[in-house]
Structure 1
Amino acid sequence: MALKVKEVSQLAGISVRTLHHYDEIGLLRPDAVTEAGYRMYSDHDMERLQQILFFRELGFSLKEIRRILDSPAFDRLEALELQRRMLEEKMAHTRRMIANIDHSIQHAKGEVTMTNEQRFEGIDFTNNPYEQEARERWGDAAIDESKRKLARRTDTPERQAELRQEWDTRMSVLAEARHEDPASPRAQEVIGEWYAFLDNFGTYSYEAFAGLGQMYVQDERFTKNIDKYGEGLAAFMCEAMGIYAGNHGVEG
């Protein structure tokens, strides 16, 4: 069944304006437009949109995504399998960074000591075992653009330290707001800042953002790490993130 643009927006967790932009640049043109001018998206269009969002999450530019998807050699199943492996590696890398941050917190509290080598454990952005496979499938330009997005934030030890400090600062701000109503303007303001922060490292859909919030309370490792900044912070963030996503068209 064909879907209208608003329905697609709600399903995918992206704005109507974004869908219009994708149409304008030829990235996602709906299969049909009614006489009244309504865009109608088919199942094929939805499959293409799914691919666009997966590639965005991996840091690909819209220009490169269009080139990849429009290539006669593009294989959707092959792409899904490789995207899954790349995202698994990205998730493992994030967990290593979180472990490093936890260790750094303990060091800052005087509970343990850290060597300079330990300060940078898990912060290697150069080694992804699936990068060469991705280059062979989609070309050097696409992968280089993806890597540049993160490298701009972590290309020196100083910037890596700044990133760790920014993470710590943002979590402290969230902890200060955790006693607010999660739907209050203040709570939604700091959660919006958290969304913008995470979006710097791989574009988040609002649906994915809400899902991440649920992980904060469903995975005890996340809960333990987050609640170090303030008891009940993980639960507050989960609820506030769900409300934030809902305010942007994602049903809870």
Structure 2
Amino acid sequence: MPDATDTDGLTVGQASTRLGVTVRALHHWDEIGLARPSLRTAAGYRLYTAGDLERLHRIVVYRELGMGLDRIQAILDDATADVPAALRAQRAQVAERIERLRQLGTGLDRMIDAHERGLLLTVEQQAAIFGPRWDPEGPTRARQRYGATKQWQQYAERSASRGPEEWQRITDTVADLDRALGEAMAAGVTPGSTEANRLVERHREVFASYFPLTRQMQVCLGRRYASDSGFAAHYDAIHPGLSTWLRHAIDASARTHGIDPDTATWQ
């Protein structure tokens, strides 16, 4: 490496500033033979010439395009390399990354909307899926009440990936469960029986579509079914007294799993 005065080139620090890359990166490129400074001062400082900087500029550009260092070195050092072909191939990869990022952006937008709205369905879609008695403002009120809870976050993140068909399937599953609960009570199935316990487990699995539902949390829901006028009206319209029957069935099932319904908490 020829000796030079300090005015013949740029030091590593100066080149780093000029190119917007780290000194560490320049040292690494030097070590692997990708871009070595052509000059060295009498004091031992490495200096990059104008030609060195031109090579470094190309390296920086190719790195920005996503090329690996081995590929960059091959392009720069192989006089027969088809640079346009390499750039076209890299352009195709960039296009793929752009599309993936676009999809990621769309997914993030849906996630944000789901956290803020709960349901990513139009009012018309909600009416078609949940029925004419559905209140489209319900999710907004639910967010105001539960938006800070872990369960709302889990519900929202699942909602973000669901379209009308998936919500229709869930709605149909809930309706089937409601019918089965009403038929069981009408048939005289008693809470704590094998059949009642099976329905309670089915209830927990169905409602886990919204967020993970533990047995203790299910007990808390059972209390609300019997005490909340809205829930009670829903179940009692299926069969008179069903809200209380369902609570007792959930409590009895919980006891078989070592849970005291009187002390169960939302956890």
Q: What TM-score results when the alignment is normalised by the length of structure 1?
A: 0.43
Larger radius of gyration: 2
Higher relative contact order (CA 8 A, sep 6+): 1
